[in-house]
Amino acid sequence: MGTNTSSMFELSYYDKKRIHNLKYFTWIEQQQKDLNELNAQWYDYPGYWEKIRSLTPQIDNLIKEFNKEAGLL
């Protein structure tokens, strides 16, 4: 589809950690999430993300219910 990797950047460990640490503002300060959950994203890798992925059917159902109630379906 015309996509290539010319605009991609291969991240080092420290690049990834820096990006992860930037989430503090949006996760903790804006969304009032728990610091333990933010740390789990980094320290419980890949377990944290596998758990989130396992919730996909439930999340999809919630989205469908919301769209139905909002009149989008």
pLDDT tens per residue across span 40-73: 999 998 899 999 999 999 999 999 999 999 999 8
For residue 54, the model assigns a pLDDT of 96
For residue 7, the model assigns a pLDDT of 86
Q: For residue 71, how many C-alpha atoms fall within 13 Å in the half-sphere facing its CB?
A: 0
For residue 47, the model assigns a pLDDT of 93
Q: For residues 12 and 8, what is the distance between their CA atoms, to the nearest angstrom?
A: 13
Rounded to the nearest integer, the mean pLDDT of the chain is: 92
> At which residue do the structure tokens 């933010």 appear?
38
| Long-range own/partner contacts, residues 42-50 (CB < 8 A, 24 or more apart) | 42/17
- Give the amino acid at 63: I
For residue 1, the model assigns a pLDDT of 75
